Amino acid sequence: MSNLAGQIALVTGASKGIGAATAVALAQAGAHVVLTARDAKRLETVEEAIFAAGGSSTIAPVDLGDGDGIARLANALTERWGALDVLVHCAAVLPELTSVRDIDQAQFSKTLTVNVLATQVLIARFDALLRASKDPRFVHLTTSVATTPRAYWGAYAASKAAAENLVASYAEEARNTSKVRVAIVDPGATRTNMRAKAYPGEDPASVKPPEAVAAAIVALLGEQFASPHRLRVNLS
The domains found in the chain, sorted by start residue, are: 8-232 (3.40.50.720)
Q: Identify the CA nearest to 64 among candidates 124, 145, 23, 139.
A: 124
Q: What's the average model confidence in pLDDT over 39-66? A: 96
Mean pLDDT on 21-32:
97
- Give percent of the chain with pLDDT exceeding 90: 94
Mean pLDDT of the 13-29 span: 97
Q: What is the mean pLDDT of residues 172-178?
A: 94
Model pLDDT for residues 95-148, shown as the tens digit of each residue? 999 999 999 999 999 999 999 999 999 999 999 999 999 999 999 999 999 999
Mean pLDDT of 52-58: 96
For the chain, give the mean pLDDT. 95
Q: Cα(90)–Cα(41) distance, rounded to whole angstroms? A: 18
Distance CA 212, CA 116 (A): 26
Q: Which residues pair with 122 in a beta bridge?
A: none
pLDDT of amino acid 236: 40
Closest CA to 25 of 33, 13, 15, 36: 33
Q: Looking at the DSSP assignment, which residues form a beta bridge with residue 61?
A: none
